């Protein structure tokens, strides 16, 4: 494999997936984590999904996640947030609700404890993978050609490559969290940032992260860092580290001051409007 290359395409590991399966994989363009067609499409060809979940990057050949949906494997990232539902009671239903508005934007998911249609507790969950620069398309096309699939000659001949925008990814997520975390602190709820261990290492080396401490329920911001490990079937995610801090600690990273808040009832009303049988959270489904 070249220095920078695709590691997983449409949920299938490049190494280990039988060659005869790639024709079907490329044709279906299916995301196994969303259980639907991959949402990452080419701007010039909206009917064509890019499908890159993770890449092998740099001289150290790091396996880096570049699609947030890759974190949905086995729903483990949500299971690892269950202990943050501090008022959850036996008999309550668990619901997983996407895209809920709070000051500063949207939160990717809310894991809610629900009794008789009423939200009793919730945890906000943000998924952040690394942003790429340049274009990953030539690397994708070269991979398919290696697997015996006909692709345009101009694509594989292109010398264009992709990079990783470490700085922008890290700064963007810190700023976004800064706009949201005081709301959760005000409501005495938890917001979880799910990232990869490599991104956490970059952030620790380039930002003032000294305010992070071992995960504890007293802090509104929880950081769950996962590593991409080799497995018999390709790669799998495993929880590597957990840290936490409060709004003051996060603001110290950027030298900023946050003030947006949203009343508890406003968030609960959004969650309850979205409750349905389809949002029931079940492990392993």
Torsional class of 169: left (φ above 0), alpha (ψ -120 to 50), beta (otherwise) = alpha
- The pLDDT of 159-174, averaged and rounded, is 89
Residues 7 and 137 in one domain: yes
Residues 79 and 112 in one domain: yes
Residues 1 and 119 in one domain: no
pLDDT at 258 over 60: no
Residues 148 and 202 in one domain: no
Q: Could you tell me the residue range of the domain that residue 211 belongs to?
A: 70-128+165-285
Residues 233 and 101 in one domain: yes
Residues 31 and 47 in one domain: yes
- Give me the chain's average pLDDT, please: 90
The predicted pLDDT at position 259 comes to: 43
Q: How many structural domains are present in the chain?
A: 2
Residues 54 and 86 in one domain: no
| Burial state string for 180-196 with b = 16 or more CB within 10 A and e = fewer than 16 | bbbbbbebebbbbbbbb
Residues 112 and 140 in one domain: no
Residues 206 and 220 in one domain: yes
Cβ within 8 Å of residue 225, ≥6 positions away: 195, 196, 197, 199, 200, 239, 240, 241, 242, 243
Show the tokens assigned to 172. 């963007």
Residues 54 and 160 in one domain: yes
| Greater pLDDT, 50 or 160 | 50
The predicted pLDDT at position 255 comes to: 55
pLDDT band at 88 (very low <50, low <70, confident <90, very high): very high
pLDDT in tens, 195-212: 999 999 999 888 877 778
Residue that is last in its domain, among 146, 164, 182: 164
Q: Are strands 52-57 and 62-65 parallel, antiparallel or unpaired?
A: antiparallel
Residues 136 and 123 in one domain: no
Give burial (CB, 10 Å; 0-12/13-18/19+) of 151.
Answer: middle
pTM comes to 0.88
């Amino acid at each position: 494999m070249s220095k920078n290359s695709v590691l997983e395409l449409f949920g299938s590991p490049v190494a280990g997936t039988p060659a005869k399966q790639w024709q079907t994989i490329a044709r279906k363009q299916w995301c196994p984590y969303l259980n639907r067609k991959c949402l990452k499409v080419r701007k010039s060809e909206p009917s064509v999904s890019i499908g890159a979940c993770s890449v092998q990057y740099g001289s150290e050949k790091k396996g880096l996640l570049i699609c947030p949906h890759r974190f949905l494997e086995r729903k483990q990232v949500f299971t690892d947030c269950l202990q943050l539902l501090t008022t959850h009671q036996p008999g309550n239903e668990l619901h997983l609700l996407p895209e809920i508005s709070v000051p500063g934007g949207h939160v990717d998911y809310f894991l809610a404890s629900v009794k008789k249609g009423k939200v009793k507790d919730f945890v906000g969950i943000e998924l952040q993978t690394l942003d790429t620069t340049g274009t990953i398309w030539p690397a994708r096309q070269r991979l398919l050609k290696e697997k015996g699939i006909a692709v345009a000659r101009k694509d594989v001949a292109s010398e264009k490559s992709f990079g990783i925008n470490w700085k922008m990814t890290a700064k963007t997520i810190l700023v976004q969290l800064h706009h949201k975390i005081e709301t959760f602190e005000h409501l005495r709820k938890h917001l979880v940032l799910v990232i990869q261990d490599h991104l956490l290492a970059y952030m620790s080396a380039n930002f003032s992260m000294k305010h992070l401490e071992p995960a504890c329920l007293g802090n509104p911001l929880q950081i769950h860092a996962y590593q991409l490990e080799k497995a018999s079937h390709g790669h799998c995610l495993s929880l590597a580290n957990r840290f936490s801090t409060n709004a003051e600690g996060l603001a110290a990273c950027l030298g900023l001051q946050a003030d947006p808040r949203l009343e508890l009832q406003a968030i609960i009303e959004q969650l309850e409007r979205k409750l349905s049988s389809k949002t029931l959270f079940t492990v392993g489904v």
